[in-house]
Structure 1
Amino acid sequence: MYRKVTIQDIANMVNVSKSSVSRYLNNGYVSEENAKKIKEAIEKTGFETNFFAKRLKMKRSKLIGIVLPRIDSVTVGKLLTGINSRLEENNYQGLILISNLSIEKELENINSLYQQGVDGIIINAIAITKEHIKLISRLNVPMIFTGQKSEFVNCIKIDDYEAGRIMGNYFKEKGHKNIVFAGVTEEDKAVGVERKDGFINAFKHNNQESSVNFVETGFSFEKSYEMAKEILKYKPTGVVCATDNICLGILRYLHENNIKVPEEISVAGFGGYDVGSVLYPTLTTIAFDYDLTGVKTAQGILDLIEGKELEKDNEVTLRLVERESVRNF
């Protein structure tokens, strides 16, 4: 039966200690005579092809840890596609851990990946808390965040405030006055604060008698469907959803209750999901290039591993996609 060659096997073959073999693999001091014997034994047995032997000798695992908040998300899927494409080009592999929208789990996952010896860690963060900053300050491994931003860590992310601002100006130009913003908790600074604030500030600027009410729906289709009744209590002319996925739940509720979009109420979102182009009516949205964000994030972690500074130009293009779900008011 085939058995993998171990460090102990090499040590026994050349009559040296196991620690001597380990030092050789890790570029430590070994006498010239023993180094020659160990090298010959490795070549003879094929031990050099063992992943962990290579890792020790190169001081690189060729693994990048990736911490994701959830896996059942269109945006996460596109982000991961971009990350993976750039890592593969550079002969790296991703090791993925899921936090299930738990900050505590996210911190555990970062620490776990560090202990597994990855070369760098990408965090598609739920938030960047004081605990995050404390943890990464004591872990000696390159890290980069996406999805959230902080002056204390390396980040590459979409400009959520600017996305909100674009949508706010759009609804103002369409003549709307009474909007409900359907969104998420402010614990999520990017989507729950920046995106919402960008919209409200732009929409209300020089727009007399305008109002924006907020209804918390969370990210899920199911929860947004449940909260649609609460949204309608404000009698809005339009509903702006923090993500396209939130729009799907609200549109379903409106359809079931024979409320016509956009004739009776306008609906728009953020994300640019493909499904928005096949809905009826088709969905107006701010399209984000999550794939490109993933590529830039992966390149960022590779640069940090090589001791390079992050590129200053890390902006990702935002694009208003005007379709059928919003009308002039």
Structure 2
Amino acid sequence: MRHSLKHVAERAGVSVKTVSNVVNGYPHIRPETRARVEAAIVALDYRPNLSARNLRQGRTGLVALAVPELDNPYFAELTRHVVTAAAAQGWTVLIDHTDGDPDREREVAAGIRDHLVDGLIFSPLALSGAELTGGADRTPTVLLGERIDAADGRGPADHVAVDNVAAARDATAYLASLGRRRIAALGVQHTAEGVSARLRLAGYQAALADAGLPADPALLAPADRWHRADGAAAMRALLDSGARPDAVFCFNDTLALGALRALHEAGLRVPEDVAVAGYDGIDDGRFSIPTLTTIEPDIERLATLAVELLAERIGGGADRPPRECLVPHRLTIRESA
């Protein structure tokens, strides 16, 4: 049997209102009364009905998280951290997988779940700032990933991200510091959706300029998707072209894992012949052979900050201007470079 406020009140010899005040932290209650109510709560193992409370407040206690790829280790780890941070708010997270499809992202941005969720954490790939603005006006929203500018220079909603240019610059600068002079960039994209790729390419090119190294177009390896097979294929194509890099900065870790396989198949040693660095800090990189040097964004901080901003919006901060927040990253040096 699940006990109610009425049962606690009867056991403590007080009114239902008094029990409610204790449960909700109302300060002006006599210490002896509070102690009696708290003892009754423990004795009956009473737990508040959060669903009923949320409904009284006009909320569902549900928030949505929409990401491009759940099978990508980065997004899987991000999802885990968002769920953990949301649980601390008393929320349940509904998870949507868009695959970066524009139509599916438009459904998310248009607020298809307006009456189901209290808020949305959204990592879009395909939408413009104008397409995101409408949904953000109705449902409290926090954006992840790359900044999508509005006409006034601000994004359409709160936004949490990593500085991709600075992170890619750090990874490439490290490879240059090892004396590598033909550093390839693997994962180049020129599509509208490839904003992360363009920013990481910019960081790579800035580091080459800093080191006085030429930007050789032959060392740019494209990859339409950023999975292991794409990394292996891009690395094979680069080697077959005769470009012969002595280092490779891969735009994410799954590309790097594929590149490691292709280098092994080609009989090249890592890092002796070709040094390899990735980006994302996924757990697989700690167990690859060799272990993977990588850029590690603070994914836990990113998720926690996104939930905190969403909680502020849901709690009454809907009218404040959107915030832009960057989370830190670090270069983790392992065996591959």
Q: Post-superposition shift, 1:185?
A: 2.5
* Distance verdict in 2 for CA 1:141–1:108, change over 3 Å: same
Q: Contact between 1:179 and 1:237, CA under 8 Å: does it hold in 2?
A: yes
How many percent identity over aligned positions?
23
- Structure 2 counterpart of 1:216: 222
What is aligned with 1:177? 181
Q: Is the Cα contact below 8 Å between 2:235 and 2:259 reproduced in 1?
A: yes
User: 1:277 Cα shift?
Assistant: 2.0
Q: Counterpart of 1:260 in 2: which secondary structure?
A: coil
CA distance in 1, matches of 2:314, 2:65: 15
The aligned amino acid for 1:82 is: H
Aligned to 1:318: 329
Alpha-carbon distance, 1:177 to partner: 2.2
Q: Quote the offset at 1:109 in angstroms.
A: 2.7
* Counterpart in the other structure of 2:236: 229
More deviation in 174-183 or 184-193?
Answer: 184-193
Mapped contact 1:147–1:190 kept (Cα < 8 A): no
C-alpha separation in 2, matches of 1:210 and 1:101: 30
CA gap 1:60/1:245 in 2 versus in 1, 3 angstroms? same
User: Residue 155 of structure 2 contacts residue 322 of structure 2 at CA under 8 Å; is this kept in 1?
Assistant: no
Is 1:102 aligned to residue 101 of structure 2?
A: yes
Unaligned runs of 5+ in 1: 1-47
- How far the C-alpha of 1:189 sits from its partner, in A, is 5.0
Structure 1 residues 88-167: aligned runs within 5 Å? 88-111=87-110, 113-136=112-135, 139-150=137-148, 151-153=154-156, 154-167=158-171
Cα distance, 1:226 vs. partner? 1.8
Corresponding residue number in structure 1 for 2:19: none
Number of matched pairs? 277
The reply on whether 1:199 has 2:198 as its aligned counterpart is: no
Farther-moved stretch of structure 1 (81-90 vs 199-208): 199-208
The answer on whether the counterparts of 1:78 and 1:294 sit within 8 Å (CA) in structure 2 is: no
Long gaps (5+) in structure 2: 1-47, 149-153
DSSP-derived class of the 1:296 partner: helix
TM-score (norm 2): 0.75
CA deviation vs aligned residue, 1:159-198 (integer Å, no higher than 9, x gap):
1111011112212222222222111524345521112211
Amino acid of the residue matched to residue 322 of structure 1? I
Report the Cα offset of residue 55 of structure 1.
Answer: 4.9
Q: Deviations over 1:1-21 (max 9, x none)?
A: xxxxxxxxxxxxxxxxxxxxx
RMSD: 2.5
Q: Matches of 1:275 and 1:237 in 2, distance apart?
A: 23
Shift of 1:89: 0.9
Provide Cα deviations, 1:266-292, integer angstroms capped at 9, x if missing partner.
Answer: 111111122212222221111112122
C-alpha separation in 2, matches of 1:209 and 1:131: 38
Whether the 8 Å contact between 1:144 and 1:300 is mirrored in structure 2 is yes
CA distances 1:92-142 after superposition (whole Å, capped 9, x unpaired) = 1111111012122111133354334311111022144145234326x4111
CA positional deviation for 1:63: 1.1
TM-score (norm 1): 0.77
